[in-house]
């Protein structure tokens, strides 16, 4: 197929107009374009990490029209970038960090920006302890590889991440109300911090009764309670585990037999209670699903395909999928007669 010169010219005009429109959205008249962005004095963080922290970004391929993206200076965000960088360093353990900026004019309305970082002396952990894990070996296992230790930087982000990981592990090992309390004292002059993590696990609990409530308002129920329990793979008497409850929900969703699945404790566990009862609330979905389609291709001429899915074919919520495809419709008996639509390549195909 040959394209006319007029059509090619119109296509080129549309292709060139799109980047120009994008540039107009990035910068307005009177703004200053940021040609480059540099960080000086940084040792703890790489320039890539610092660049992902600030809102100010340089243009891509500056000086190359219609290809790069222009990015201009936002004075409000530029002032906030200084605070963003200082907060990042202070949470990492650099309380004396100072950030300054240098703006160099390259030419009218085009600038280079440099962030000058004075990190200062870091604050390190002089004492670290995890309390409350002595009474059970599983508690100690959950507290393994805590990301903060004596001698390391006093990184509050690592401290909070370690607390979250510890609590998540405890709630997967049978402590549904586990918490971890953080406490620390700092000595600014000595650049040291004493850190203490107190584990409050509560009572360790097992899964009790698992009730099943099925909403059939949107369709007839086909999956039995026994199949639902088998699919959940969660048993009464198992240690309570948030992860296993989520896995049980996922297993039920993957059957495609239910539109909605909720598996939650019946109520808040009273202090000292060692049994957690669960209720699975399910909304029945469609048992059958059918799809179909028709099309045309050079070697197939007209073709059609369809599929039928039974989401509860066997008593174990197992799926049966039937797929059929018919091609070369219009070639050969008894469907011959599509000479105007089927090309010679299809007719010469020996198969």
Model confidence over 166-189: pLDDT tens digits? 999 999 999 999 999 999 999 999
Could you say which of 101, 118, 135 is where a domain stops? Answer: 118
Evaluate if pTM is beyond 0.95: no
Is residue 56's pLDDT more than 50?
yes
Residue 3 included in any domain: no
Assess contact for 135 and 143: CB atoms under 8 A: no
Residue 233 and residue 196 share a domain: no
Average of per-residue pLDDT across 194-208: 95
Predicted confidence (pLDDT) per residue in 290-310, tens digit:
888 888 777 777 788 888 877
Q: How far is CA 135 from the centre of its chain?
A: 37
Q: What is the pLDDT of residue 10?
A: 44
Which of these ranges, 58-72, 228-242, 249-263, has the smallest mean pLDDT? 58-72
Q: Do 111 and 142 sit in the same domain of this protein?
A: no
**Is 147 in a helix, a strand, or coil?**
coil
Verify that 176 and 232 share a domain, yes or no: no
Residue 250 belongs to domain with CATH number: 3.10.20.310
Q: Helices in the chain by DSSP H: which ranges? A: 5-26, 47-53, 75-92, 137-142, 156-172, 225-232, 242-254, 344-347
259 plus 309 within the same structural domain: no
Cα Rg of the chain (Å, integer)? 33
Bridge partners (DSSP) listed for residue 100: 116
d(CA 154, CA 69) in angstroms, rounded, equals 40
Of 156, 184, 200, the residue that ends a domain is 200
Place of tokens 């982000």: 157
| Range in 1-5, 16-20, 97-101, 103-107 the model is least confident about | 16-20
Range of the domain at 90: 14-118
**Low-confidence winner among 28-37, 80-89, 122-131, 338-347 (lowest mean pLDDT):** 338-347
Is 247 found in the same domain as 165?
A: no
Q: Which of 3-7, 74-78, 273-277, 281-285 has the lowest mean pLDDT?
A: 3-7
Q: How far apart are CA 244 and CA 252, in angstroms?
A: 12
Tokens of 296: 């045309």
Residue 152 lies in a domain: yes
Instruction: Say if 168 falls within a structural domain.
Output: yes
Question: Would you say residue 336 lies in a domain?
Answer: yes
Are 76 and 63 contained in the same domain?
yes
Do 84 and 57 sit in the same domain of this protein?
A: yes
Query: Which range among 193-207, 270-284, 291-305, 336-350 shows the weakest confidence by mean pLDDT?
Result: 336-350
Last residue within a domain, chosen from 175, 200, 225: 200
Does the residue 1 lie in any domain? no
Q: 209 near 236, Cβ under 8 Å?
A: yes
Supply the pLDDT for residue 340.
64
| pLDDT tens digits for range 147-172 | 999 999 999 999 999 999 999 999 99
Please indicate, yes or no, whether residues 293 and 316 belong to a single structural domain of this protein.
yes
Write down the mean pLDDT value for the chain: 84
pLDDT bin (cut points 50, 70, 90) of residue 14 is very low
Neighbours of 91 (CB within 10 A): 16
Pairing mode of beta strands 110-118, 98-107:
antiparallel
Q: HSE-up of 294 (CA within 13 Å, CB side)?
A: 3
pLDDT of 148: 94
- Using CA atoms, how far apart are residues 53 and 1, in angstroms rounded to an integer? 51
Kindly indicate the confidence band of residue 342, based on its pLDDT and cuts at 50, 70 and 90. confident
Residue 9 maps to a domain: no
- Is 259 in the same domain as 315? no
**How many separate domains does the chain show?**
4
For residue 5, being part of any structural domain is answered with no
Q: Where are the alpha helices (DSSP H) in 37-74?
A: 47-53
pLDDT grade for 272, boundaries at 50, 70 and 90 = confident
- Residue 7 included in any domain: no
Residue 248 has pLDDT above 80, yes or no: yes
Which structure tokens are listed for 202?
Answer: 């509560």
Question: Do residues 129 and 113 share a domain?
Answer: no
Residue 90 half-sphere exposure toward CB, CA atoms < 13 A: 13
The confidence score (pLDDT) of residue 12 equals: 41
Give the pLDDT band of residue 314 (cuts 50, 70, 90): low
Rounded-to-integer distance, Cα 346 and Cα 343, Å: 6
Provide the percentage of residues in the chain whose pLDDT is more than 90.
Answer: 56
217 & 313 share domain: no
- pLDDT at residue 284, as a whole number: 82
* 8 A C-beta contact, residue 163 and residue 184: no
Pair 294, 334 in one domain:
yes
Q: Label residue 36 by pLDDT band (50, 70, 90).
A: very high
């Amino acid at each position: 197929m040959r394209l006319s010169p007029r059509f090619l010219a119109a296509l080129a005009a549309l292709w060139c107009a799109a980047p120009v429109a994008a540039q107009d959205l990035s910068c307005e008249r009177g703004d200053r374009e940021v040609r480059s962005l540099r960080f000086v004095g940084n040792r703890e963080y790489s320039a890539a990490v610092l660049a992902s922290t600030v809102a100010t970004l340089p243009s891509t391929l500056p000086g190359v029209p219609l290809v790069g993206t222009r990015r201009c200076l936002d004075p409000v965000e530029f002032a906030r970038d200084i605070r963003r960088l200082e907060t990042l360093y202070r949470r990492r353990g650099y309380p004396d960090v100072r950030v300054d900026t240098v703006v160099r004019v390259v030419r009218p309305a085009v600038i280079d920006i440099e962030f000058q970082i004075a990190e200062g002396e870091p604050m390190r952990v002089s004492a670290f302890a995890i309390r409350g894990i002595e009474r059970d070996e599983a508690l100690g296992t959950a507290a393994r590889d805590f990301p903060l230790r004596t001698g390391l930087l006093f990184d509050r982000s690592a401290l909070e991440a370690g607390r979250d990981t510890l609590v998540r592990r405890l709630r997967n090992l049978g402590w549904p109300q586990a918490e971890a309390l953080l406490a620390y004292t700092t000595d600014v002059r000595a650049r040291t911090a004493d850190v203490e993590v107190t584990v409050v696990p509560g009572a360790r609990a097992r899964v009790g009764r698992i009730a099943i409530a099925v909403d059939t308002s949107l369709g007839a129920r086909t999956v039995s309670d026994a199949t639902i329990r088998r699919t959940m793979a969660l048993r009464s008497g198992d240690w309570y585990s948030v992860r296993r409850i989520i896995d049980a929900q996922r297993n039920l969703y993957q059957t495609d037999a239910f539109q909605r699945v909720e598996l939650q404790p019946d109520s808040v566990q009273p202090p000292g209670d060692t049994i957690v009862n669960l209720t699975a609330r399910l909304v029945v979905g469609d048992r059958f699903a059918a799809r179909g389609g028709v099309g045309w291709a050079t070697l197939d001429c007209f073709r059609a395909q369809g599929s039928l899915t039974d989401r509860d074919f066997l008593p174990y919520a197992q799926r049966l999928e039937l797929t059929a495809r018919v091609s070369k419709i219009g070639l050969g008996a008894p469907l011959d007669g599509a000479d105007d639509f089927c090309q010679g390549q299809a007719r010469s195909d020996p198969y």
